[in-house]
């Protein structure tokens, strides 16, 4: 999978070099390229923002650098032959909420472009123009405001990247996690069986695999009801 990121803070993405995704890049499973939006700003100060038409607080990202950046990346020959156009993701508090289902949809695509906005946002015409280059999605990490799209893009790249076949060593660990079946995960324990007066539940030491599976399912349902009842309304 190819992922391009456009940001005025490309160094935010240095952490993608390490850990699981760093290894995936090393193995050639994931090709992430981070671009500085200012490379497409041509005035002497490499300006990417300006005051909003109609007045109001803060600054808005100018359309021209975005148009050039997205055009150059969408038509980049090094992306290789693509059977489908890119998905262009703009992290935004005004977008659809990102879930594990969104991660699965994005992981099935060949090419993702993340456009990271800053200031009060990006000139609205950029989204209309981007729609001529690929499938545009405004996606929110949740109902809170960040200073820019970078941290949200990073979270989405990690959630998507680990779904690419071969990135996570044991694929069983992908299906057993929270949210894959619409429920929270059951509690986990390891040795010692007794620690500071706290004991591992007897059932897990019983060797009765049927009873353990039933107990775990019960724990998943109980926790989901207590902590995230909204998930139960949506799951079967
Ligand atoms: C993403 N949840 C919160 C902030 C404008 C595209 O325009 C903007 C982007 C941001 C950064 O994203 C978030 C966010 N998910 O704040 C303002």
86-99 pLDDT, tens digit per residue, is 999 999 999 999 99
Closest atom, ligand 1, to C-alpha of 148: 11
What radius of gyration do the chain's Cα atoms show?
22
User: Which of 69-73, 76-80, 85-89, 108-112 shows the lowest per-residue confidence on average (mean pLDDT)?
Assistant: 76-80
**Most informative mutation of 12, 123, 125, 148 for ligand 1 (most atoms within 8 A of CB):** 148
Backbone angles phi, psi at 101, to 5 degrees: -65, -40
Residue 235 has pLDDT above 70, yes or no: no
Can you give the pLDDT at residue 36?
Answer: 98
CA 134 to CA 90: how far, in whole Å?
12
- Residue 11's φ and ψ, nearest 5 degrees, are -70, -15
Per-residue pLDDT for 53 more than 90? yes
Residues 29-49 have a mean pLDDT of: 97
Mutate to test the pocket of ligand 1, among 113, 116, 149, 157 (most ligand atoms within 8 A of CB): 149
Q: 17 falls in which pLDDT band (50, 70, 90)?
A: confident
Compute how many other C-beta atoms are within 10 angstroms of the C-beta atom of residue 194: 9
User: Does residue 222 have a cis peptide bond before it, meaning omega lies within 30 degrees of 0?
Assistant: no
Residue nearest to ligand 1 atom 16, measured at CA: 146
Check residue 236 and give its pLDDT.
Answer: 61
- 54-74 confidence digits (pLDDT tens): 999 999 999 999 999 999 999
Task: Assess whether the C-beta atom of 146 lies below 6 angstroms from ligand 1.
Answer: yes
Say yes or no to pLDDT of 150 above 80. yes
């Amino acid at each position: 999978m190819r992922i391009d990121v456009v940001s005025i803070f490309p160094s935010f993405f240095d952490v993608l070099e390490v850990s699981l995704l760093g290894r995936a890049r090393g193995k050639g499973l994931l090709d992430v390229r981070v671009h500085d939006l200012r490379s497409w700003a041509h005035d002497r100060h490499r300006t990417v923002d300006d005051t909003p038409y109609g007045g109001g607080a803060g600054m808005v990202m100018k359309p021209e650098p975005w148009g050039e950046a997205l055009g150059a990346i969408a038509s980049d020959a090094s992306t290789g032959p693509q059977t489908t156009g890119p998905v262009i993701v703009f992290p935004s508090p005004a977008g659809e909420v990102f879930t594990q289902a969104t991660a699965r949809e994005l992981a099935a695509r060949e090419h993702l472009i993340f456009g990271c906005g800053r200031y009060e946002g990006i000139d609205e015409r950029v989204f209309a123009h981007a729609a001529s280059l690929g499938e545009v999605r405004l996606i929110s990490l949740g109902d809170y405001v960040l200073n820019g799209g970078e941290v949200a893009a990073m979270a989405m790249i990690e959630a998507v990247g680990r779904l690419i076949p071969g990135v996570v060593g044991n694929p069983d660990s992908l299906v057993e996690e929270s949210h894959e079946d619409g429920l929270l995960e059951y509690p986990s324990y390891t040795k010692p069986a007794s620690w500071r007066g706290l004991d591992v539940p007897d059932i897990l030491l019983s060797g009765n695999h049927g009873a353990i599976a039933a107990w775990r399912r019960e724990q998943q349902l109980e926790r989901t009801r207590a902590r995230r009842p909204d998930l139960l309304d949506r799951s079967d």
